Amino acid sequence: MALIDIHHLFHSFYRYNESGEVAGTKEALRDVTLSIEAGTFVAVLGHNGSGKSTLAKHINALFLPSKGQVLVDGRDTKDAANVLLIRREAGMVFQNPDNQMIANVVEEEVAFGPENIGVPTEEIWERVADSLERVGMTAYRMHSPDRLSGGQKQRVAIAGIVSMKPQCIILDEPTAMLDPVGRREVLRTLHELNEKEKITILLITHHMDETIDADRVIVMDDGEVVLDDVPREVFAHVDELRSRGLDVPVPTQLAYELKKRGLELPEGILSEEEFVDAYMKLCK
């Protein structure tokens, strides 16, 4: 059984007028069916308002389905008794690092999750040390989160989830407020967690280049899943992605344009190296 199973999920937001009647509805998710296997690195793409955050919050039981079903590790999010268990299996990191930190010291911040789920004191210390080590922030243990760079703050936030020992981490645009260095730090941390700890990663992002190393890319548009495949296949649909308001990585786009003009380049080029290799082969 897959770790995350989503069956025909619908989600509507309601807008109310002054007298409390429903004045309008917005279907943020429409008939989403997905299943995510344990241990995979999944990237979710989509332009603003396509429903990515709404989907993420369903997996963490922050939202409940208007229609359909979400199962995390076999547990239905609709069952109130499951909520805490689900949140501890599927941790969530948000966009703004400042707005998700509770404590004044890094180590206490990382301890917040384990404290909430009632881990004994000695074990909390072990988990904090271990999680900080995993994200490479041990040296900042006693620092105030306010003094850290954006990338460091997000790594602390990730450590704060890792310390709950989840099977899955969902990250909602964790790099949107970071500079390129910070983005690279966070991405590297995520791939390490995925490879070494076998933690399932669900990364929501706007940056195409963050998705090329994923096992799977899901493209959303207007509340629906429109593409769902390995990166190479997804980025072969250059025209479709563009029509859905998304860019493709620069090498992919260059290869695509050259191909349209008659050069015999292979499909689905993702990185600069691949492009250079293919181009050199062509020149020979």
Partner 1 sequence: MFKDITLGQYYPGESVIHKLDPRTKLSGTMLFLISLFINDKFIGLGLALLFLATMVKISGVPARFITRGLKGIFLIVLITVLFSVFYVNTGTLLVDFWIFKIYSGGLSNAAFIAIRIMLLVLGSSLMTLTTTPTRLTDGLEKGLRCLNIIHFPVHSLAMIMSIALRFIPILTQEMNKIQKAQMARGADFEKRGFLRRIRGFVPLLVPLIISAFRRAADLAQAMDARCYHGGKGRTKMKPLRYARRDFIGYLVLFSFLALTIVIRIMPYGY
Ligand X SMILES: Nc1ncnc2c1ncn2[C@@H]1O[C@H](COP(=O)(O)OP(=O)(O)OP(=O)(O)O)[C@@H](O)[C@H]1O
The helix (run of H) or strand (run of E) holding residue 24 is strand 22-36
Burial class (CB in 10 A: 0-12, 13-18, 19+), 43: buried
What one-letter code names the amino acid at 68?
G
- Which residue lies nearer to partner 1 by CB, 89 or 209? 89
What single-letter DSSP state applies at residue 120?
Answer: -
Min dist CB 49 to ligand X, Å, is: 4
For position 53 contacting Mg ion by CB under 5 A, the verdict is yes
* Cα three-residue angle 205-210-195, rounded to 5 degrees: 110
By the rule CB under 6 A, 266 interacts with ligand X: no
Q: CB 263 → ligand X: shortest distance, Å?
A: 34
Does 80 engage in binding with partner 1 (CB under 8 A)?
A: no
Distance of alpha carbon 196 from alpha carbon 237, whole angstroms: 32
Of 24-43, binders to ligand X (CB under 6 A) are: 26, 28
Instruction: Check residue 103 for interaction with partner 1 (CB under 8 A).
Output: yes
Binding mask 8-47 for partner 1 (x = CB under 8 A): ----------------------------------------
Backbone Cα Rg of the chain: 20
Q: Closer to ligand X at the Cβ: 55 or 214?
A: 55
Residue 21, burial from CB neighbour count under 10 angstroms (0-12, 13-18, 19+): exposed
Would you count residue 174 as binding ligand X (CB under 6 A)? Answer: no
Site string for ligand X, 116-145 (x = CB under 6 A): ------------------------------
Site for ligand X in 44-63 (CB under 6 A): 46, 48-54
Size of the chain in residues: 284
Provide the 8-state DSSP code for 14.
Answer: E
Give the closest residue to 110 by CA, choosing from 93, 96, 95. 93
Per-residue DSSP letters for 58-72?
HHTTSS--SEEEEEE
The β-bridge partners of 216 are 42
How would DSSP label each residue in 166-206? Answer: -SEEEEESTTTTS-HHHHHHHHHHHHHHHHHS--EEEEE-S
113 touches partner 1 (CB under 8 A): yes
The nearest distance, CB 112 to partner 1, in angstroms, is 6
Which of 48/99 has CB closer to ligand X?
Answer: 48
**CB-CB neighbours of 57 under 10 Å:** 17
Instruction: Mark residues 208-227: x for contact with ligand X by CB under 6 A, - for none.
Output: --------------------
Q: Which of 30, 112, 224, 240 binds partner 1 (CB under 8 A)?
A: 112
Give, as ranges, the residues between 141 and 180 that touch partner 1 (CB under 8 A). 146, 160-161, 164
Query: Is 133 an interacting residue with respect to partner 1 (CB under 8 A)?
Result: no
Cα 186 from Cα 270, distance rounded (Å): 20
Give contact residues for partner 1 (rule: CB under 8 A). 57, 60, 62, 84, 87-88, 91-92, 94, 96, 98-105, 107-108, 111-121, 124-125, 128, 146, 160-161, 164
Q: Contact residues for ligand X (CB under 6 A)?
A: 13, 26, 28, 46, 48-54
